[in-house]
Amino acid sequence: MRIARTVAELREVLHGDPDVGLVPTMGALHEGHLSLIRRARDAHRVVVVSIFVNPTQFGDTADLDAYPRDEARDLELTRAAGVDVVFAPTAREMYPDGFATTVRVSGPLTASLEGAGRGSAHFDGVATVVAKLLIATAPRAAYFGQKDAQQLLVVRRMVADLRLPVDIVACPTSRDADGLARSSRNVRLSRADRGRARAVPRTLEATTAAVAQGAHDVDDLRARALEVLLAAELEPEYLAFVEPDTLEPVREVVAPTLCALAVAVGDVRLIDNTVLDPGPGFAAPARIEE
């Protein structure tokens, strides 16, 4: 396994190979990342994993400082997973002196949900760093988890708008045995908070079950979901029912609908989502009038 610290080193190692799969990460690797690596390993001659805690997507300096980092362990995991190249640049390499370029995806894809809570600069940081990683690596495909559903939509929009020659592959959310979506931030949960955090996947499971049993009204579904969260003394930052491709709110779940939520458990902010499917025979969802 090769380790590249600069874009020049990365390009020299790859030497223009046309069959590269990229797995972008911020390190603190876990089974969710490894599942993406395995997916890429099965599909490509060369697998690149980037490890870079991107400062421009953190609005809160404390959150950036607290983000877990363990490069030595990450390198052990990537080596064992059969990764060919790890790209682990410094912040100065990614954002050199005088850096003055921002890639911005405008509109509802970045203004709602995470964008509303974390500010537009969050997705500016995401779009900019992903664009830089794609340009540096020139992969045939890049792999992202569905847990960050809004980020996935933003990346796909950016790639389509810039006509970047890369496939963006969405992979299912990886979960622990208790249903909690795997996240590098989970290691910061205390034992008690970990127990409370299980209410997040339970909320999604209860909502999915309600839709399967014939419930479609969003106000009713939201009330049921809140009961599960409040029983664990959790109050969501948002609990949204939206069209999966545009993030436009819906009134009824009469077509596949993204149910997304964010909640703070102790000092750890968790996000999760699921796609609710009422089954065949329904019309397109009614959207809230402006």
The catalytic position among 15, 33, 44, 122 is 33
Residue 151 is assigned to a ligand binding site: yes
Residue 27 is assigned to a ligand binding site: yes
Residue 31 is assigned to a ligand binding site: yes
Residue 21 is assigned to a ligand binding site: no
Residue 91 identity: A
Residue 122 is assigned to a ligand binding site: no
Residue 41 is assigned to a ligand binding site: no
Residue 33 is assigned to a ligand binding site: yes
Residue 188 is assigned to a ligand binding site: no
Residue 35 is assigned to a ligand binding site: no
> What is the spatial distance between Cα 253 and Cα 243, in angstroms, rounded to a whole number?
9
- Is 33 catalytic? The answer is yes
Residue 213 is assigned to a ligand binding site: no
Residue 142 is assigned to a ligand binding site: no
Binding-site positions read: 26-33, 57, 145-148, 151, 182-185
Write out the catalytic residue numbers: 33
Q: List, as residue ranges, the binding site for beta-alanine.
A: 57
Annotated binding-site positions for (R)-pantoate: 57, 151
Binding site, annotated residues for ATP: 26-33, 145-148, 182-185
